[in-house]
Structure 1
Amino acid sequence: MGSDLMRGGFGQSEGRKNVMRVSKAERAMQQREQETAANLLFEARKQEFTAALRQRMTENAMHDVHDVGTTARDLADGDPFLASLLIPLVEEFTRQTVRDIRTFGNGLAF
């Protein structure tokens, strides 16, 4: 009788099935946890990248708006008529640049 217990005698196969089910369930749970952690890390990195890109875009846009304004002032060279023609162009460029920065990343899939 003792040897039957040692070798896996009566009732042991059902016990093994239960142990295997638990371990499969645990492995599945661990797999889901790993996938969730990977998804969270991906989303965090994606948001960090988008924020850095938006900051870089904003800095470049500020320089562009400054350059356009300076160029318009240099072109007008004190002439009120030319200034009245160039000012709406500079204002529209500035508005469009701000709009582009605000909408950056909305609906954009990486």
Structure 2
Amino acid sequence: MGGELNLFGGEEQRGALIRRQSRAQRAAQGRAEVELFQLVASGRQEEVKAMLRKRLTEDGMQDISDVGKLAEELAGTDQFVASLLVPIAQEFARSTARDIRDFGRGRGR
């Protein structure tokens, strides 16, 4: 196991990598927010709507994936628990897809 740690770096190196990725993600998010503000200020609402839809879609897909993995992890090999969790994960996926599809179309519940 010690050899594996040396191949991928020690705890300090991994922590620095995570911090660097987080910093890069925050910087990218900051740039996206500035771009979004500039589009709103310039009156380009359709582009703003498209940008928000793209972000909503990406976040929604990640959420669906996370919920599916969590349901699988929680169920483990227990078929009864799986039979309870699968419909919940499926409904979450359907409702998220519906929210993305209806975004910006004036359809409220």
Q: Identify whether the pair has TM-score above 0.5, normalized to the shorter chain.
A: yes
Post-superposition offset of 1:50? 0.1
Q: TM-score, normalised by structure 2?
A: 0.58
Which runs of at least 4 in structure 1 moved beyond 6 Å after TM superposition? Answer: none
Report the identity percentage.
52
Aligned residue-pair number: 66
Q: Look up the SS of the partner of 1:105 in the other structure.
A: coil
Given residue 52 of structure 1, which amino acid in structure 2 is its aligned partner? M
Q: Which residue is equivalent to 2:63?
A: 64
> What's 1:105 paired with?
104
**CA distance in 2: counterparts of 1:59 and 1:86, whole angstroms:** 23
Deviations 1:48-83 (A, max 9, x none): 000000000000000000000000000001111000
Partner of 2:81: 82
Q: CA deviation at 1:107?
A: 1.9
RMSD (CA atoms): 1.4
Counterpart CA distance in 2 for 1:84 and 1:57 is: 29
Gaps (5+ residues) in structure 2?
1-41
Q: Which has the larger radius of gyration?
A: 1
Query: 2 CA distance for matches of 1:92 and 1:84?
Result: 13
In structure 1, the residue matched to 2:47 is 48
Aligned to 2:10: none
**Structure 1 residues not aligned, in runs of 5+:** 1-40
Distance (Å, rounded) in 2 between the aligned partners of 1:63 and 1:96: 14
Query: In the alignment, residue 86 of structure 1 is paired with which amino acid?
Result: L
C-alpha distance in 2 between matches for 1:51 and 1:78 = 41
TM-score under structure 1 length normalisation: 0.57
